[in-house]
Every structure is written in structure tokens, then in C-alpha cells.
Amino acid sequence: MLRFSFCAGAIGFGIQKSVIPGLREFLLDLSPAKVAASPVLKEFWEGAFNCRMKRKISDDSCDGTEDIETLQSPYTDTSQLRITNMVYKAVYAIAHAIHNAVCEDTNSTTKCDKFSRIESKQVLMQLKKVNFSQNGYDVSFDANGDPVAKYELVNWQKSENGSIEMVTVGQYDASLPVGQEFRISKNLTWDGWWHTSKKHKTN
């Protein structure tokens, strides 16, 4: 959708984005040997570099000089991760819940029985009690097991080179006091015209 200029000025809500520590380095740590061992990675590699991984050398063969760091694709762009950030937090939440189900804090030490058998009900019970911070975000659940509603207000704006990009212009945070949940912190573009919003303090 970002290819269509008529979308400039659109406003909507988006899941919070985040830079996940180490993810870009992990994604860029692909070698031809690793790629050849995985049918999925092989398909990605061949499509990204327009070459074929074959045993016999031919004109369209991948020659090993392909550099994934020079690739401009959604695969290497880790700056707009939204759904991925939710999965990242969910995995940590489940890990915390399992830890709390098999571990016991006594005085200043923690004892864990890694051989204990736990049931999904125990993990779910602990999951509802989870409360931690990860990568700058708080993770907790209410009595219904729902996370606190937090969203970014995003505005599709034209950049200097004429392309459309999603710009975060505000936030909605249901954990804040009544009347302070919604904040706009940047200028909005609406239908090609610039509108200046009142800037709210974020502290």
C-alpha cells in the first residue's frame, strides 16, 4: 500500500514497533553454506540475488560473492517491526510463566526443578501474573488475561524523495490516567496539507 501516493495523509493505529536487540545481526549471519542446507533459505537467497544455487557452475549460478548486507529488502529492514515485536514479547512472557511455574524463590536464592512436569493450566495461571519489562516495553495482563492496550498513531506521509512512509505521530496507552491515554506529539499530514498539533509532554 505504501506504493500508492493517494494514501498520503491516511491516519491509523499500529502495534508498537521496536528494534529487537541482535535480530538484524542474526538475520545477516547467513552464509552460502547455511543457505544451501535449508530449502526455505535457498528459495529466499535465489529470489533476492536472482541466481541459482547449483552444483554445476553456469551463467546464472550463485558464486558466493552475494552480500546480504547490501540487500535492500523487507528481510533486512528491522526498523518497522510490529507483529514481530509482539511475538518477541509473547515468547518472553511464556518463558517467564514457565520459569515461575518450575522455580521457587527462597530467601535470596532461586531453586528450579527442571525435571518437574507442568501442565498448560499451570503455565496459563502464571502467565496471568507475569509483569516484566523487555526491550523498553512493560508486559503484563489484566484479570481477563488481556495485555494493556498500547498503540501508535501512525500517519502516512510523503518523504522528501516523494515516497510514502509511515510516521509515528502519537500514542494511545490505556494504562495512563483518564484523559491522558491519547497523545499526539508530531505534525500530521492530512490530504496533502500540513496541520500542526499541540505538542504534549511525554513525561
Name the pTM for this structure: 0.67
Q: Residue 200 — very low, low, confident or very high, per pLDDT cuts 50/70/90?
A: very low
Query: Which residues, in sequence order, are bridge partners of residue 193?
Result: 190
Using the Cα atoms of residue 127, residue 132, residue 134 and residue 138 in order, give the sign of their dihedral.
positive
Please write the tens of the pLDDT for every residue from 119-177.
Answer: 999 999 999 899 998 877 788 988 788 888 889 998 888 777 777 788 889 999 988 89
Please write the tens of the pLDDT for every residue from 64-114.
Answer: 788 888 887 777 777 767 888 888 889 999 999 999 999 988 888 888 887
